[in-house]
Amino acid sequence: MDSTTLIAMASIITAGITTGIGCMMPAAGEGKAVSAALNSIAQQPDAAPTITRTLFVGLAMIESTAIYCFVVSMILIFANPFWNHIIAK
């Protein structure tokens, strides 16, 4: 196998692992956050607007992690920075 094939294989495998783990873990975190928020609202219904607002900000921060992992995967597949290094040789 030549180095171009090895870089392509490593990029695709890394992109798959990054997307897989980068989507599973934030999804688990979001589920845990929603569960905790619903539990808090059940215990203190008067604080529901504050809890909900804080929950949405937290969910946006958690979701941004999954989006960053997706962007890194797309860069590895379509705009791999290692291609220029191999082509220059």
Cα–Cα distances (Å) from 71 to 16, 49, 62, 74, 80, in that order, read: 12, 33, 15, 5, 12
Q: Residue with structure tokens 């504050």?
A: 50
pLDDT in tens, 7-29: 888 888 999 999 999 999 999 99
State the CATH class of domain 3-84.
Answer: mainly alpha
pTM confidence score: 0.75
Name the pLDDT band for 86 (thresholds 50, 70, 90). Answer: confident
Helix (H, G, I), strand (E, B) or coil at 80: coil
In this structure, the number of other CB atoms found within 10 A of the CB of residue 78 comes to: 9
